[in-house]
Amino acid sequence: MIDWQALGDETIDLLRRYLAVDTTNPPGNEAAGTAFLAQVLADADIACEVAESAPGRANLVARVRGNGALPGILLHHHVDVVYADRRYWSVDPFGGVVRDGFLYGRGAIDMKSTGILQLAAVLALRRARVPLKRDLVLLATADEEAGSAFGARWVAEHRRAWLEGCEYSLSELGWIHTSPHFRAPLGTIFISEKTGLPLRLTARADPGHGSMPWPETAPHRLIGALGRLLAADRPVRVLPEIREFFARLGTVLPAERAPGFEDVERSLRDPAFRARFLADRWFAAMVRTTFAVTMLRGSEKLNVIPPEATAEIDCRLLAGDDPAEVVDWVRRVVADDQVEVSAYREPKVPNLSPPDTELYKALADSLRRRAPDAVVAPSIMTGFTDSWVFRRCGLQAYGFAPFVLDDRELDRVHGNDERISLENLREGARAYTEMLIAVAAA
């Protein structure tokens, strides 16, 4: 039997202490965070292994063995947090402060809280001697907020054995979102994420004096190319899972906004719906490859027409996009052989885990238990997380956090006064534990 009250108290205490460890990245100093976790595990007599990818950049794994009847589940979180500007916080972001029913601190949502739910759940199962049919593997990694080179990507390359025998991984995001604009709470489970394809457009032409311009200078050619790219109508593509997401979202949106959402793939053929739908930048990003011109470079001097002008484009791919096809398409719409189009980093091919697995169903049940009126849907992150790395290693990876959060709480993620309610921690620890019992108890 599990004493839920005691588990809630323990979860709050663990998170208070974990939030007090400053793992701001850069520099990260995740070793301080893994030292804290290692001590908690040692006190519970659970062996762990810590490996540094660079001085101070530590990753930790602990495996609680099941009977091997089914493959294991990786419970992942990242130890690092983004910086907090103390001038704009009303409390010490690394003080573990509890005020008015909330625990404050950088990482309270993103994502030390989820790491502590995973830890508390594993401790509770061990203490209650719940027999397991799957291994549960706690994995804490460095550097997620700065590209994961010292964290998940390093683990995938240098400590692949840590993931051995696992078929699933659970990591950040995915929660129940309540909003005054919604008719019901919206629970999401992240099944995929868009990946970046950094593009560079380089125009070259003869240089000259700014007093006597002509139409074909490098900057002018570049501007023309960018204009054609931004005006080009890259076709929308609605993944079946995203069609399902919008169908469920339609049942949550205000009634006047809902028409057409039951099948956005069909509705997008209607020009009026399409214009309305794509005007929402989040919706648009869910159904198409996006191109954001973010960096522009030309001359160093006002009166010098430079020999070269460049633009860098933050292009984001949707699952099913082929990076080579996207680059070809950009070349075609730019339609200028004096403008070179190149992808300047090895592209990350987007991946997706299906929402019809046993684990996905257990996650959805768990969210519905936390908020019985919630509508639960699979979703795609427009940003990026380590789940992409685990999918590449062959695992089905989901973003899941059994928290109920409103708009105002979510705005604090990477913002000021990030916090999590004590109720979310208590109920979340119970939900995480019960979910693991449902999928992993023998």
To the nearest whole angstrom, how small is the minimum distance from the Cβ of residue 62 to Zn ion? 20
Instruction: Show contacts with Zn ion in window 45-74 (CB under 5 A).
Output: none
Tell me which stretch binds Zn ion (CB under 5 A): 161-169, 170-178, 264-272, 411-419: 170-178
Q: For this structure, is 144 an active site residue?
A: yes
Q: Among 10, 80, 143, 172, which residue interacts with Zn ion (rule: CB under 5 A)? A: 172
To the nearest whole angstrom, how small is the minimum distance from the Cβ of residue 389 to Zn ion? 13
Residue 380 tokens read as 């795609």
Calpha distance 220→55 (Å, rounded)? 47
To the nearest whole angstrom, how small is the minimum distance from the Cβ of residue 23 to Zn ion? 12
Q: For this structure, is 145 an active site residue?
A: no
Calpha distance 60→18 (Å, rounded)? 15
Nearer to Zn ion, 94 or 182 (CB): 94
Q: Scan for tokens 């609680």, then name that residue.
A: 64
From 49, 62, 51, 58, select the one nearest 30 (Cα to Cα): 58
Number of residues that bind Zn ion (CB under 5 A): 3
Q: What is the DSSP string of 198-236?
A: EEEEEEE---EETTS--TTSHHHHHHHHHHHHHHS-PPP
Calpha distance 130→132 (Å, rounded)? 6
Tell me which stretch binds Zn ion (CB under 5 A): 168-176, 252-260, 340-348, 423-431: 168-176
To the nearest whole angstrom, how small is the minimum distance from the Cβ of residue 240 to Zn ion? 27
To the nearest whole angstrom, how small is the minimum distance from the Cβ of residue 285 to Zn ion? 19
From 303, 301, 304, 330, select the one nearest 315 (Cα to Cα): 330
Residue 287 tokens read as 């159904």
Nearer to Zn ion, 172 or 417 (CB): 172
CB 29 within 8 A of CB 23: yes
Tell me which stretch binds Zn ion (CB under 5 A): 102-110, 149-157, 262-270, 308-316: 102-110
From the candidates 80, 409, 417, 427, give the one annotated as an active-site residue.
80
To the nearest whole angstrom, how small is the minimum distance from the Cβ of residue 197 to Zn ion? 22
Residue 346 tokens read as 């090895």
Nearer to Zn ion, 112 or 316 (CB): 112
CB 277 within 8 A of CB 257: no
Within 10 angstroms of residue 131's Cβ, the number of other Cβ atoms is 10
Residue 387 amino acid letter? S
Q: Among 10, 30, 80, 110, which residue interacts with Zn ion (rule: CB under 5 A)? A: 110
DSSP state at residue 46 = -
359 counts as binding Zn ion under rule CB under 5 A: no
Beta-strand (E) ranges in 226-298? 290-297
Nearer to Zn ion, 264 or 405 (CB): 405
To the nearest whole angstrom, how small is the minimum distance from the Cβ of residue 78 to Zn ion? 6
Q: Among 111, 252, 395, 440, which residue interacts with Zn ion (rule: CB under 5 A)? A: 111
Nearer to Zn ion, 10 or 409 (CB): 409
Backbone angles phi, psi at 311, to 5 degrees: -130, 140
Calpha distance 419→104 (Å, rounded)? 4
Nearer to Zn ion, 115 or 185 (CB): 115
Calpha distance 247→259 (Å, rounded)? 10
From the candidates 144, 172, 409, 417, give the one annotated as an active-site residue.
144
Interior angle at CA 281, CA 276 and CA 284, nearest 5: 70
Nearer to Zn ion, 10 or 172 (CB): 172
Nearer to Zn ion, 143 or 172 (CB): 172
Residue nearest to Zn ion (CB): 110
To the nearest whole angstrom, how small is the minimum distance from the Cβ of residue 330 to Zn ion? 30
Q: Scan for tokens 């500007």, then name that residue.
A: 85
From 385, 364, 387, 384, select the one nearest 375 (Cα to Cα): 364
Catalytic (active-site) positions? 80, 144
Sites of contact with Zn ion (CB under 5 A): 110-111, 172
